[in-house]
Amino acid sequence: MTEHTEESGWLLVSVSTAGAAPTLRVQVWRKLRSLGALYLQQSVCLLPEREHTVRQVRRLLDRVRQQGGTGRMLHLALTDPAEERQVIGEFSAARDAEYAEVLERLPAFRAELAHERERGRATYAEVEESEADLERFRSWMGKIAARDYFAAPGGAAARAALEEAAADLAAFEQAALAAEAPTMDTDTAAPKAGRSRMRASEEKA
């Protein structure tokens, strides 16, 4: 008999919101999708057994029951290696599709930075706006990575593209700094000149 461990185990989750408020169905769907659940059929899905997934599903089922729904979480093992590889492949394919969407949208962000620089609009306001956009990309990537249980191959390319976008923003910020911020030489020149004039006046006196 194969020993069941958390890393090799799976969770079969079944939820019914019949008779509960319509909003509960949306809450369940959003939560399970955020965990990266693989739906086998309506209201039945599969998740890798991890400390995080077990804790989150338990909380979800408690909420479902409190609001009039029903739910169940079963711990199981896939004993057929080929079947387990297929399931893992489906999880990774779902994450790759999400990484691909990030890769699809990042070029527009980088193109916008280049366009603003060409127009001479590298300003602090543009930097702030672009930083907010980049942070949204980072948050999005973080959410995908949290449910990427099997290191989907598309993740490396998406992370590299995000770092390239961050480098573009850093260069844009430097351009904005050069355009808007006074130089240190300009700041310090006036006081030095003033001190020289003061010494000259003292010598004459």
Q: Are residues 51 and 115 in the same domain?
A: no
For residues 88 and 48, the answer to whether their CB atoms sit within 8 Å is no
Domains of the chain: total: 2
Residue 7's pLDDT is 58
pLDDT, tens only, 66-84: 999 999 999 999 999 999 9
The whole domain housing 144 covers 84-183
pLDDT, tens only, 166-202: 999 999 999 999 988 765 454 444 444 443 333 444 4
Q: Are residues 20 and 94 in the same domain?
A: no
For residues 10 and 48, the answer to whether their CB atoms sit within 8 Å is yes
Q: Are residues 64 and 90 in the same domain?
A: no
Q: Are residues 120 and 59 in the same domain?
A: no
Angle between helices 22-34 and 51-66 (to 10 degrees): 180
Would 196 be classed as within a structural domain?
A: no
Q: Are residues 33 and 116 in the same domain?
A: no
